[in-house]
Amino acid sequence: MNSIPEDEGMHYEGYCIRPPSEADSILLQVTLGCSHNKCTFCGSYPDKRFKIKDDKIILSDILFASRHMQREDRLFLMDGDALIIPQQRLVWILENIKEHLPRVKRIGAYANVKSIKLKSLEELKILHQNNLGILYLGVETGDDEIRNAIHKGSAAATCIEMGRRVKEAGIQLSATVLLGIGGREKSLRHARATGELLSAMDPDFVGALTVMLIPGTPLYRDCENGMFELPDEAGLLRELREMISCTNLTRGYFFSNHASNYLPVKAKLPSGKQRALDLIDAALRGEIGLKPEWMRAL
């Protein structure tokens, strides 16, 4: 390979978005944007056309991290969908991380249904053998009508199948769902369908975020035009309660402690389900204060 830039820092472009659980990880940007980038609620990558970054830049960043980030034992591959990288090239990236950052024991990345579908079970197992330890899958909802409306690009049944493939490969699965994405009218229907999807998929972690209406997105315009209405605070709590009630995991965690949520919940399922429901009931009765609006954010 030709000359590698020396110690000029990590080559980040645009906003760097990662899951809350990757706050202490090395952030290695291997793609720009999202390979799907059609979801009506998402304003994460408006200024980025999807592309895979040049191998020379990726290697330069790995080498920079090897010199200046020696304490971290986790690494996250940005941007929106690193799993879409062709298998041989992705393995090359993982092997270089393993060679130059031997302290890193777990690598994570965002994934979508399309990118998982492009990887066979055997290919996912090879990625796992090269320290890909967790994938974050944007599920959003288990209701196919809502999935079509928000342009997820896949059916709930396919989403379940791909999630199971990840788990069968030995990779941990974290599923993200969106409170409020069904609007006021379909709130409880969305909650039940999502709980059923999560039960069938059986992820290791579920992270519930609340929809934040972002100017410039199609969902924001729908809200302005009266075509979409978010549930109020009590409605979102009832939706969260219904979703948890309908979610049956073999052994996993359900979190709603993201900054966008009014009530932080952390429940180990199945043992902690009733405690979580009791907490939400107490909040609905006004016995527990909710996060003020000014503290909510993405």
Question: Residue 190 belongs to a domain with what CATH number?
Answer: 3.20.20.70
User: For the chain, how many structural domains are there in total?
Assistant: 1
Q: 2 in a domain, yes or no?
A: no
Q: 7 in a domain, yes or no?
A: no
Q: 185 in a domain, yes or no?
A: yes
Q: Specify the pLDDT at position 81.
A: 87
Q: 15 in a domain, yes or no?
A: no
- Give the span between the Cα atoms of 101 and 66, in whole angstroms: 6
Say if pTM beats, i.e. exceeds, 0.75: yes
Which residue range(s) make up the domain with 84? 20-285
The beta strand positions in the chain, using DSSP E, are 26-29, 31-32, 51-52, 74-78, 106-111, 132-140, 172-179, 205-210, 252-255, 266-269
Mean pLDDT, the chain cut into blocks of 10 residues (298 residues total): 59 86 94 88 80 95 93 93 96 98 96 96 98 97 97 97 98 97 97 98 97 92 95 96 98 90 93 97 94 79
Q: Specify the pLDDT at position 298.
A: 62
